[in-house]
Structure 1
Amino acid sequence: METPRPSPTSLQDLKPGTPLTGRITRIELSGAFVDVGLPVEGRVHVSRLSKKRVNRADEAVQVGQEVEVWVEAADEATQRLDLTMIRPLTFDWRDLRPGLRAVGKVVAVERYGAFVDIGAERSGLVHVSEMADDYVARPEDVVKIGDAVEVVVLDADRAKRQIRLSMKAARAPAVEEPEAVEPPAATAMEIALRRAMGELEAPAPSTPRPSAAGAPRRSRKVQDDILARTLQERARPTAK
């Protein structure tokens, strides 16, 4: 069940990209105006009514029609609200790497496959051979416009502006790369055996280093005391 969107109370609540639901109140040459529940109506320029080229606003929408829109700009000072009916991009071209999983909406069905909007600049093609594991004679037997489908990106060519998708690959469980496991440390017996077989070099014998401690030094005062006592002993008269 889809979570209901909170209703905005002022233009300050709106940020670029905020999704809203509204109703077309009037149509002009420059575009359409939408009531989104605020004192000020939002304006959708004719160029933002659809990804396809629209010459006149009434070719894309009708008064009273409920539409899904996104905020492009909201200015509290000028009381202006610019909206778009073109869904903001979910994926940039650099995001469309092979293996990327996405959920999209079927926007067109052709005899060779179906086009799915996953929120990229262009809709991606699911070729009829990528719709199911079994043979599919007609794409319309599997999907219809408006269906939500899970797909996997096969490749994306920005130069050709083409995206290839697969519904078949999306049904396969995602393959997780195994975590790298470090080998257990060798035991002392294994190390000795490998050395005996010549696989490991024996550690070089360690050469004892000379002791850094030198002979104790006597202080100058101690040496002077010893010399003084020696002179005193020699100066004493010898008993006859």
Structure 2
Amino acid sequence: MTSDAITGITSIDQLERKMHLKGKVMKTTKAGAIVDIGVEKPALLHVSQITMEGEQPILRVEDSLKEGQEVDVYIRNIREDRIEVSMFKPLQLEWREIDKDMVLKGKVVELEKFGAFVDIGAERPGLVHISELTQGYVKNASEVVNIGDEVEVKVLDFNRRRKQIKLSMKALQPGLDEIEGVKITPAHTNRRKKKVSKKENEAEVAATPAENEPTFMEIAMREAMEKAGMEAPAVKGKQSGKRNKKKTSEQEDILSRTLNQRA
């Protein structure tokens, strides 16, 4: 099996966190071991960072490591006074490295009714909720992705205490209004005007009182007075109530006198 350990490191300045190196155990103690990794000073391997095959608990350092033994180690911390290493493979993405709006690549490792879990190299897989898989309605996550698919996701939020990471695939996709050739018709917010039927229109017109329409008596009186050479009063339209009756009686008297004069 080919090792991905980095070789040729000879200076502390070349070291980086999570770097995989080959080392040789120089000395073992109850607290751990001192390991030569090829730079100016040896590295410290704490007992809590020592692993055994099958992930069995370590009872004594001497039972796991021997002086002169070659081991695979990873750089944990680089301090001014010491270098700390671990035999545990570090996470590709640690909690302190996660940030909102990060764009990452991952692999779908589990499907549920409510979404898909994606391994992004963190302590826990992140969840892409079914509403964040793609644009539009999705009934089942399997309609969009399958286990083993490599996908690109964006970090929406995370909670280290609860060990939860919320991801989105939809956030990296263009909106429907951004896709060329797709025309979005806005929803009608105003209600359509109510159509007025012909019968309703006719009823409305019939209910509207005629303006300045003269009566038959007014027309006859006007013609009689014009023939007699008298000035005819201006027509003001219908009157209502007692005033209308009084006006009609006066007009009848005037018409009667006019006709008698002509006779």
Scaled by the length of structure 1, what TM-score is found?
Answer: 0.40
Q: Which has the higher relative contact order, 1 or 2, with Cα contacts under 8 A spaced 6 or more apart?
A: 1
Flag the structure with higher helix content: 2
If you compute each CA radius of gyration, which structure gives the higher value, 1 or 2? 2
Scaled by the length of structure 2, what TM-score is found?
Answer: 0.37
